[in-house]
Amino acid sequence: MRWTDKAKRLLWISVMTCLCGMSFGCKGDGKVNPYIAQRIWELTSEDPVTVQAAIDFLLNQKPRNVVPALMENLDDMHPLAVRKVLIQDMRNSAAPVRRYEPEKVCDLIAALLHHVTGVSHGTIYNGASDTQRIKTIAAWQTWWSANKQHYQ
Polymer length in residues for the chain: 152
Burial of residue 142, with CB atoms counted within 10 A of its CB: 0-12 exposed, 13-18 middle, 19 or more buried: exposed
> Higher model confidence: residue 91 or residue 109?
109
Residue 109: which of 81, 143, 140 has the closest Cα?
A: 140
* Span 108-132, average pLDDT: 92
Beta strands in the chain (DSSP E): 85-88, 97-100
* Span 78-107, average pLDDT: 87
Residue 109: per-residue pLDDT: 97
Residue 2: per-residue pLDDT: 58
Mean pLDDT of the chain: 83
Query: What pTM value is reported for the model?
Result: 0.78
Residue 90: per-residue pLDDT: 66
The pLDDT tens digits of the residues spanning 11-47 come to: 555 545 444 333 444 444 556 588 898 999 999 999 9
Give the integer Cα–Cα distance in Å for 32 and 47: 25
The pLDDT tens digits of the residues spanning 63-80 come to: 999 999 999 999 999 999
Q: What angle do CA 89, 93, 98 make, to 5 degrees?
A: 40
